[in-house]
Chain A
Amino acid sequence: MKKVLLAMFIIVATTLVACSSSSSNQTEEFPTTDIEIVAPASPGGGWDGTARAMQKLFSDENIIEENMNVVNKPGGGGEVGWQYLMDQDAHHFSINSSLLITNNLLGQSDLTYEDFTPLGILTTEWISVAVAPDSEFDSGIDIMDKLKEDPTSLKIAVAPSLGNNDHLAFVQAAKEHGVDVTQLEFMIYDSGGDVVTALLGDHVDVATMSVSEAKEQHEADKLKIVATGSEEPIEGLEEVETWKEQGIDMVFPHWRGVMGPPDMTEEEIAYWDDRISELVETEAWQDILENNEWQAFYKDSEEAEAFLEEQTANYEELLRDAGLTD
């Protein structure tokens, strides 16, 4: 009972302090209303998962007092959700990924990262190349050698669309090795699960997909991961060499970040830098990363902006090389 009283006292006291400080500043301190997280996808995927994890941890860990809601705005590879964010105020933010960049480069969207306020980059997944367990290939470089000889000799599975990270990571590795990447034969599946099925059933020769989708199958000897696009060998997959170790100089993060609507004030940006950097330090966040096979990849608002600029240049080049843009 005493504890409850104490807690109530603290709440009342802090509210009073908060009120008085805001009145002294003449302006109310951000945030003033409930906060909305826009997941530009349907429930169940990585964007939605990131949004819901943030919603839960911000309140569980008492980082943010205000109510937070997740709204799903699926469609157009993020386009619908981001268009929606354009017209909102600073109490809204959305999850993003490289699709924000590639949609625009591929001519499927007018939006670029410059239309929004980058608030940070949160996580990355690494992308792997896998083959069937009885495949003739034991390493990624063998595959690339074969493709260098004849780029149409292998059928490569990817999901869910051309121009996405899984696709481009493979293209970049191939390009670095001197493969004629415009000739590569990709088969496009609906989801990562379908790609695994296609590989397990021997319907394709090679698959490019995120490590999280392939790792467990690899451990069960249902398929064989032969290369990863990460900086360092991946925990639990130490026996698999990265592209770098195999002599192809490339690292390819599949990142997810957050951004707010256009024209946020410096205070608002600082508020989110504060809160998000606190969030990524919590143990609960580490658990979520581990459960989803995501890697920590935190960049604050300033670093995120520079990162997005660099990524845009990189994607522009890749898409051109892959023959998807002129």
Chain B
Amino acid sequence: MNSSEFWKKFRTSKSAVIGLSFLLLEALAVYLLPALFRMDPVASDVQAGFFAAPSASHLLGTDGAARDLLARTLYGGQVSLLVGVAAPFISVLLGLPLGLAAGYYRGMAETVIMRASDVFMSFPSVLLSMILLSIISPSPGTLIAVIGIMDWPVIAKLVYGNVLSIREKEYIDGAVSIGRTDFEILSHEILPGVLSPVFVSISFRSGGAILQESGLSFLGAGIRPPQASWGSIISAAQDLSVLTRTPWVWAPSGLLIVLTIMSFQFLGQGLRDTLDPKMKL
């Protein structure tokens, strides 16, 4: 499928187009608006007051340290989108080669790699991430690394399953019989066959990574104030009086998280339907 065919088919999926448009608009907004309007996410406007309701000078109100919530929500969006886009690439970087090796070489490599992924998947990833983040101090970079590492078994299993079915194909026997090396077979014959499911799964994993990041930041194990992230903004709602009396503090960030994750989900479904509707993920 060439790229014009791809777009033609992709455009027919309404939800995928909506998802992609929302994500692009959101990315433009969170990266451009703060710079254009010189917003400051850490300055306290004591005159406006703490937990001030939305007004002309603070469109989304202020938080418990009298910081502008619109600025914090936009800067928080930068963190969430960055983690969402970058973390799945770490998972692919680890999971793709391991899955290829396990599926192609079988034997010992298969046992060790698939066993390791089972071990990884048998423990709640939120709790394991919290333990890791209590060792290395949390920042956008370390969050990307931790969340990316947590997800490698998902990619490895996906690649492994696809390699197993491809290596039974006759053209692989053909490549072996004309004496091509393992590396040539893996990179020329097998890799192209596993790329589409990996590509689709990146979109789903992006939503998952944003979910993980916001959850960890909410629990205080991720991004911490004064730095902003959607999860850490909502974390103020753990205080019952903030939750009940000042919904403008947590509602916008909460809504954005849900819409962003849904958009990645729609995008992933659209990509899957475009590339191969029968793909199993």
Determine if chain A interacts with chain B: no
